Amino acid sequence: MTAPKTLYDKIWDAHVAHEQEDGTCLLYIDRHLVHEVTSPQAFEGLRMAGRKVRAPEKTIAVPDHNVPTTLDRVSGVIANEESRIQVEALDKNAKEFGVNYYPVSDVRQGIVHIVGPEQGWTLPGMTVVCGDSHTATHGAFGALAHGIGTSEVEHVLATQTLIQKKSKNMKVEITGKLRPGVTAKDITLAVIGETGTAGGTGYVIEYCGEAIRDLSMEGRMTVCNMAIEGGARAGLIAPDETTFEYVKGRPHAPKGAQFEAALAWWKTLYTDEGAHFDKVVTLKGEEIEPVVTWGTSPEDVLPISAVVPAPESFKGGKVDAAKRAIEYMGLEVGQKLTDIQIDTVFIGSCTNGRIEDLRAAAAILKGKKIKDGMRAMVVPGSGLVRAQAEEEGLADIFKEAGFEWRLAGCSMCLAMNPDQLSEGERCASTSNRNFEGRQGYKGRTHLVSPAMAAAAAVTGHLTDVRDMMTENA
Partner 1 sequence: MEKFEKLTGIAAPMPLVNIDTDMIIPKVFLKTIKRSGLGVNLFDEMRYDRQGNEIPDFVLNKPQYRDTQILVAGDNFGCGSSREHAPWAIADFGIKCVISTSFADIFYNNCFKNGILPIVMPQEVVDVLMKDAEKGSNARMVVDLEAQTVTTSDGESFPFEVDAFKKHCLLEGLDDIGLTMAHVKDIDAFEATMAQARPWV
Of the candidate residues 119, 137, 222, 297, the single one contacting partner 1 (CB under 8 A): 297
Positive or negative torsion for Cα 91, 97, 102, 106 = positive
198 makes contact with partner 1 (CB under 8 A): yes
Among residues 132, 165, 126, 128, the alpha carbon closest in space to that of 150 is found at: 132
Q: Radius of gyration of the chain from Cα atoms?
A: 21
**HSE-CB for 150 with a 13 A CA cutoff:** 12
Please report which residue ranges of 141-253 form alpha helices under DSSP H: 150-159, 184-195, 210-213, 217-225, 241-247
Q: Which is nearer to partner 1, 88 or 240 (CB)?
A: 88
Find all residues with CB under 8 Å of 101, minimum gap 6, and list them: 60, 61, 62, 91, 94, 95
C-alpha angle 121-202-54 in degrees, rounded to nearest 5: 35
Note whether 89 binds partner 1 by CB under 8 A. yes
- Position among 91, 166, 197, 213 found at the interface with partner 1 (CB under 8 A): 197
Q: Does 321 bind partner 1 (CB under 8 A)?
A: yes
101 binds partner 1 (CB under 8 A): no
Applying CB under 8 A, the span of 107-115, 168-176, 226-234, 393-401 interacting with partner 1 comes to 226-234
Give the SS3 label for residue 385. helix
Q: For the CB of residue 327, give the shortest distance to partner 1 in the complex, in Å.
A: 13
Which CB atom, from 85 or from 107, has the smaller least distance to partner 1?
A: 85
Residue 293 is a binding residue for partner 1 (CB under 8 A): no
Using CB under 8 A as the binding rule, the residues of this chain from 347 to 376 that contact partner 1 are none
Region 400-429 residues binding partner 1, contact defined as CB under 8 A: 414-416
Q: Are 201 and 214 in contact (CB under 8 A)?
A: no
**328 lies in the binding site for partner 1 (CB under 8 A):** no
When the beta carbons of 180 and 202 are compared against partner 1, the nearer one is 202
51 binds partner 1 (CB under 8 A): yes
Q: Which of 56, 150, 387, 418 binds partner 1 (CB under 8 A)?
A: 150
> How many residues of this chain bind partner 1 (CB under 8 A)?
79
* 194 touches partner 1 (CB under 8 A): no
Q: Which of 230, 383 has the CB closer to partner 1?
A: 230
Work out how close the CB of 29 gets to partner 1 at its nearest, in angstroms, rounded to a whole number: 10
Calpha distance 16→24 (Å, rounded): 10
d(CA 242, CA 385): 19
The neighbour count for residue 378, using CB atoms within 10 Å, is 33
d(CA 245, CA 176) in angstroms, rounded, equals: 23
Q: With CB under 8 A as the contact rule, which of the stretches 129-137, 178-186, 340-348, 359-367 interacts with partner 1?
A: 129-137
Other Cβ atoms within 10 Å of 40 Cβ, number: 18
Asked if 74 interacts with partner 1 (CB under 8 A), we say: no
Output 107 or 198, the one with its CB closest to partner 1: 198
For partner 1, which is the closer residue by CB, 181 or 235?
A: 235
In whole angstroms, the minimum distance from the beta carbon of 462 to partner 1 comes to 22
